[in-house]
Amino acid sequence: MAASKHIGRVGGLAVALGIGAAVFAVGQGVAAAAPDASDGGESSSSSDARQAGPARSGPGHRPARAAAGLGAASAAVPNPSTVSAVSTVSAARASDAEVRPSRPGRASRSARVGEPVPSVPIPAEIAASTEIAAAARTAPAAENRATERVSVDLPPMPVDDGWSFTVSPDEITDAAANYVAGGGDPADGARFFFGDLAVGSLDALAAADLTPEDARVQLGNLAVSGYFGGIWLRDNLRETPEVAAAADMSPGELSPGELSAGELSAGVDLTASTIGIRIFDALATGLMGAASSPGFIARTAAHASVPVLLALYGYNRGYLDVLLENPPPGVPSMQDTLICEGFLDCNSTAFPVDIGTRYDAALGLLDNPPSFAWHEMRLWTGLLESATGAGRGVWERIAGEGGFSPASYQALVELSSAYLMISKGAVLASMLGYADGDTAVARSSLRLQAGLWIWSGAYFAGLASNAPAGTMPEIIVEPEPTSL
C-alpha cells in the first residue's frame, strides 16, 4: 500500500526520537542529581516579580510571519463537503480559551504563574467560526438525551494495565456520556477519543490535587487515545480504496458473515505494539515517581527534561508547518489557525487548549534572562530550534509524494495543533519549575510529561499495529429500557 512506506518513515523517525528522548531524559535525570541554583526550598511560586523587557527577540522569538490576521480564521470553518472526523472545537471550549491580543509590550508575559492576567475578549471572527462549527454538529435535543444510555465499545489493546496506567472502560464511558450530554456527536468518535478525552486527561494531570489512582486512570485514557489515534492516522494518512471502504462501512452494515473491526483485531498479533507501549510506560512511571518525590528531585527532573521537550516541540512545530502549507486540492487552507511570533511563542485557534498558554510567563523570562538558570534555558531554546527542520524534512517528503487525505486533513490539523500546544505548555512549565524554583509547577510539568509520553508511545504503537483498517472505539447510544 502506498501509505505504508510513508508511515514507516514517520513512525520510524518518531519512535527513534521518542526512545532516544526517553533514554536521554533518564540519563540526564541521574547525571543532574546535584543541587542547583534554585534549590532554596520547595516554593510554590517565586518571591519577586520581574518587569517585562523591551521588544522581544532571541532564540525563542522571531518576527511574525506574514498572515492574513485573525480575521482570516474564518477560512478554517468546516466546508460541508470536507467536514472531517473531528469537527472544529465547540463554542463552549472556545469561550474559555483566551485569544491573545497583538504583541506590543505584553507585560502579562512577565507576570508570575498564578497572578491575574487581564481577560481578553475573543475576536468576533473567531467566535463566529466556532459558533458555526458547533451548529454543524447538530445533536439530538437535551430532553431526548435524558432517555438514552451511553456506552463505549473498545477494541482490544496491546496493554490495558501498565506500570503507570490502567484503562478504565467505566471512566471512559462516563466521559463519553458527558461529551454526548454536552452536544457532542456520538458518531464523531475521533473528535471524542483523540481530542476531548486526551485534552481533558492532560489537563487533569497538570492539576495539583490529583490522587495516584486518578492519575493512573487519566494515563489510561491517554493510552487509549494515543493507540487508536495512531491506527486512525495509519489508515488516513493516505486515502486508499481499502481505507475508504472501511471508513464507509459501519458495524450495522456488515453482512452476517462479517466481523466488526474490534472482533477482527481480537486475534491479531500485537507484540510490536506491546513493546512500544511498555517502553514509554516505563518512562511515564519514572516521571510520575519524580513528580511525587521531594522538591529538589522534582525540580532536577524538570531541569533534565527541558532539552527533550524542546526537541519534541520543535519536531511537532516543523511537521505542523508543512501540514498547514499543503492542504489537499479543494480543501480550504487552515494556515492562519497557527499564529507564531517566535519558536515557542505560538498560539493555535484550530483546537484551543488552555495548557498551551497557561505558562506563557516563561516567554518574557527567556527574552530577558534574570538569572544563570534562565540564561541556560535560553541557550537550550536556541540550540534545539533546529529540531523544526527534522519535522519539516519528514513531512515535506510525504506532502511531495501525493499530499494528504482530503477526508482527514482538518482532523489531522486540529489534533496536531492540540499536541503542539500541549508540548509547548509542558516545556515552559518545566523551565519555570527549574529556573524559578517553583516546585508545584515542576510537579505539574512532570505529570504532564508522563501523559505526553504515554500518549506518544501509544500513538507510535498504533502506527505500527497489525490491527485491521478501521479499528476504532465507538460511542454507542441506545434508548433506555422503559418499564411496562
Write out pLDDT tens, residues 426-440. 999 999 999 999 999
Contact between 281 and 356 (Cβ < 8 Å): no
Provide the 10 A C-beta neighbour count for residue 395.
24
Confidence of residue 267 (pLDDT cuts 50, 70, 90): low
Q: Quick one: which of 213, 240, 167 has its CA closest to 458?
A: 167
Residue keyed to cell 503542539: 420
CA distance 381 to 61: 10
What is the band of 420 on the pLDDT scale with cuts at 50, 70, 90? very high
Rounded distance, CA 414 to CA 283, Å? 27
Say if CB 380 and CB 310 are below 8 A apart.
yes
The identity of residue 336, as a single letter, is D
33 Cβ contact partners less than 8 Å away, ≥ 6 residues apart: 297, 300
168: pLDDT strictly greater than 60 = yes
User: How many angstroms separate the CA atoms of 450 and 282, rounded?
Assistant: 10
pTM over 0.75: no
* Confidence (pLDDT) at 34: 37
| The pLDDT value given to residue 146 | 54
Cα separation, 231 vs 459, in Å, equals 8
Q: Which H helix or E strand runs over 364?
A: helix 361-367
Look-up: residue for cell 468518535?
Answer: 189
Among left, alpha and beta (phi > 0; psi -120 to 50; other), residue 349 is alpha
Cα Rg of the chain (Å, integer): 22
Residue 448 has pLDDT above 80, yes or no: yes
Q: Is the separation of the CB atoms in 463 and 325 below 8 Å?
A: no
- How far apart are alpha carbons 463 and 234 in whole angstroms? 5
What residue has cell string 497489525? 466
